A and B are shown apart, each in its own frame.
Chain A
Amino acid sequence: MSTPKWVVTFQIYRKKGNADPHFDEFKLEVSPDEYVLDGIERVWAFHDRSLAFRHACHHSTCGACGMRVNGAEKLTCITLIRDVTQDGGVLRIEPMRNFPVVSDLAVDMGILYTRMEMVEHQPVNSDAKEAIQPEARPAGPVGEEEDYIRLSDCIECGLCISACPISGSSPEYLGPAVLAGAHQHGIKGNEQLLKLVDSEDGVWRCHSAFECTAVCPSFVEPGWRIMDLRKQVIGERFKRLFRGSSPKIIDTMEASK
């Protein structure tokens, strides 16, 4: 038996060039088990071909389809319509906050990608071995442990930056995804990264709203990672206090043992 259809009004944010933004309404018949992105694509396909939005993989891997759905940041390709509205309800679709709008729902995420590179965020999880337990391996021929790599949890969707109140008020703040990337990479023995993280716009700029963790679709837990980075930074500072002013020399001696 097929699921009964719902009628849902998509209120979509529109902005082209320097024109003032406005919302366009589209009433669609949808299945509640479709995803929000399916509805947006249908608007583009059958109602307005000028609607701009980002999407690619449709399975929460590319991180392109982040938007605000009724105010909350969502990865629209995995957000079921039934989870965010009801029959006869409204879906207000807006671009992510804290990024410049290029057109309609598409934002320019260049600054996030640049900063992720700055903290040397790796597409492959650095604790891959630990993370890939035998039971979590894909079915099929079993190879050597090294054959399995685990991709990084963070898909660079930017939802955490959009939800962060501090990224909203301080554009210089590195932001949750970037700090989580630094945490994943590891700051130990990386002077440059430590300096970046232990700065005014690094971990100390966070004011513990924890909205990043709430909206992250990939369970990266940026809020917890920022707090853990703080602990590590404090630890490093203590070490320096007792080691004196030339930690690098001691590090070098230890490394050469």
Chain B
Amino acid sequence: MTGVSKTSPLSRAAKWFDPRARTISTIGFILNRITALGLSFYLFLHLIMLGQLAQGPQAYDGFLATVHSPIFVFGEVLVIAAGFIHGLNGIRIALNSFGVGARYQKATFLVLLSIAVICSLIFAVRIFTV
């Protein structure tokens, strides 16, 4: 609508992330955006890291040592959590778009988010203990 066209697209999109006075549905909307951005960034980083392979075995060994540091392992947990959240939330949205369960989208979101959290926790426990 015309009332918004004067501000820049970036500042308009920044408002997507404001959950004030909004419902749980917006939390789903925001989570999907954050996880999508996170996963894209990860993919980019992943490709750069893989580029190390081309620089010989020594560089690659150094790279492996870095990724075994706790901060990287924590990052890996975040990536898996983002994958679960984005994937499961995506299933809800895809189903809704085929006219399935749109009236129950809040309940579906809460159930799928709980599954994502549980799966991420299990993964986190395993990766930090194995």
Contact = CB atoms under 8 A, between A and B. Distances in A.
Nearest to A69: B21
Contacts of B97: 208, 227, 230-231
Interface stretch (B61-69, B73-81, B101-109, B120-128): B101-109
A171 B1 CA distance: 4
A213 to B, nearest CB: 8
A76 to B, nearest CB: 15
A171 B102 contact: no
Interface string B78-97: 00000000000000010011
B55 interface: no
Interface stretch (B11-19, B44-52, B110-118): B11-19
Contacts of A107: 3
A149 interface: no
A68 B22 CA distance: 12
Contacts, number: 92
Interface string B1-36: 111110001001101100011110110110010000
Contacts of A165: 15-16, 26, 29
A10 to B, nearest CB: 17
Contact of A100 (B2, B21, B102): B2
Nearest to B101: A227
Nearest to A158: B1
B57 interface: no
Contacts of A207: 29, 32
B98 interface: yes
Interface in A72-113: 72, 97-101, 107-108, 111-112
Which one of A161, A211, A232 has the highest number of Cβ atoms from chain B below 10 Å of its Cβ?
A211
Contacts of A171: 1-5
B13 A228 contact: no
Which one of A107, A112, A209, A228 has the highest number of Cβ atoms from chain B below 10 Å of its Cβ?
A209
A221 B26 CA distance: 16
B96 A227 contact: yes
Contact of B3 (A98, A211, A227, A231): A98
B3 A101 contact: yes
Contacts of B28: 208-209
Contacts of B103: 221, 224
A210 B105 contact: yes
A169 B25 contact: no
Which one of A168, A231, A232 has the highest number of Cβ atoms from chain B below 10 Å of its Cβ?
A168
Q: Which 9 A-B pairs have the closest CB atoms?
A: A71-B21, A231-B99, A210-B25, A227-B102, A100-B3, A209-B29, A72-B21, A169-B12, A99-B3
